[in-house]
Amino acid sequence: MSSAHTAIGQGVEFDAIRRMLERWGANARGVGDDAAVIPSIGDRSLVVSIDTSVENVHFRREWLTPREIGYRATAAALSDIAAMGARPLGILVAMTIPDGWRNELDGLTDGIGEASAKSAAPVIGGDTTRGHKLSLTITVLGTVRDALTRAGAQPGNSVYVTGRLGGPRAALRDLEAGRAPSEVNRERFAHPVPRILESAWLAANGATAAIDISDGLSAEVDHLASASKLSIIVRLEDVPAVEGVSPTDAVLSGEEYELLITGPASLDTAQFKERFGLDLTLIGEVTEGPIGAMITQNGKPVTLPAGYLHFTE
């Protein structure tokens, strides 16, 4: 892809696109033709994912700044690439923009640009349209030599999670009750971080399977177990939670965008922590047995309340 954009024609819609490209600067590349062209990806595999964030389904306008909304939608999409152990190649941004959001385009644009720049994933294409509710659909492209899938867990593997969970759920609970969340929890909700470099390190150090936590740890453990056709046990008491959050809330908290991985028992969690300033915590084991997830507390299976659901209007 060339860093120069194709000259864009006349019209209000194109003015908006030109303004976005201006704000993105060097972080947008080769936009303006019918499709983006990426000259070659060598002998690596292509990885691609799509993710939609809709107003009043995935976020509320009064809880986040436009910049945060743009950042969060983009970071959430990039997290899918991290879950594959892949290196980002670029993103495409489809925006549905209601009239009432027209004045917030700069903020949205800057937030998208922030997430894109932080992950070295330039904007290479997009589409804008009118609509009733703000909606951002981000397609993320990446490349990888050996993809880290959900299906690679092996019996005898250990189960790990990055970071500390529960912040987004605690923040959401406060926001829904009209309370201000703690700064730490709000930050976890508004500024999730796609774990791209962390994932590459994990893959290089023997991780066998990975998934990012968008629906809550307990749901993701179930996805990993189903995909790998194995049993996965997670010890509730070992799940790392942010301060003031119960272990149960930590495993049900969605939109974390931390990584749940399986790999050898020997993974060097201390080296990981030193390198990334982020916890890597051993929380369970992969075994033969009935396919699915089992959460235990002090050795006994526990049943959790219904898991993560998007909030309803």
Among 64, 75, 84, 236, binds its own copies (CB under 8 A): 84
Binding window for its own copies (CB under 8 A); candidates: 89-97, 100-108, 155-163, 273-281: 89-97
Convert 184-219 into a string of H (helix), E (strand) and C (coil).
HHHHHHHCCCCCHHHHHHHHHCCCCEEEECCCCHHH
Q: In the bound complex, what is the minimum distance in angstroms from residue 244's beta carbon to its own copies?
A: 29
CB of 45 to its own copies, least distance (A): 5
Q: Which of 95, 87, 130 is nearest to 112 (CA)?
A: 95
Which is closer to its own copies, CB of 22 or CB of 237? Answer: 22
Name, in order, each residue with C-beta under 8 angstroms of 301's C-beta and a sequence gap of 6 or more: 294, 295
Q: DSSP code of 296?
A: E
Binding flag, residue 133, its own copies (CB under 8 A): yes
Contacts with its own copies in 216-275 (CB under 8 A)?
Answer: 219, 222-223, 226-227, 229
Question: According to CB under 8 A, which one of 86, 207, 241, 295 is a site residue for its own copies?
Answer: 86
Total residues interacting with its own copies, rule: CB under 8 A: 69
Scan residues 102-121 and list those touching its own copies (CB under 8 A): none
At 67, which amino acid appears? R
* Strand (E) or helix (H) holding 297: strand 292-297
Closest to its own copies by CB, 38 vs 282, is 38
The residue from 23, 27, 48, 304 that contacts its own copies (CB under 8 A) is: 48
Q: Which of 163, 160, 180, 158 minimizes the C-alpha distance to 171? A: 180
Residue 174 C-beta: closest distance to its own copies, Å = 23
Buried/exposed 44-71: b ≥16 CB within 10 Å, e otherwise: beebebebebbbeebbeeebbebbbbbb
d(CA 270, CA 267) in angstroms, rounded, equals 9
The contact set with its own copies (CB under 8 A) reads 6-11, 32-41, 43-52, 54, 56-58, 80-81, 83-84, 86, 92-94, 96, 124-127, 129-133, 135, 137, 139-142, 144, 147, 149-151, 210-212, 219, 222-223, 226-227, 229, 310
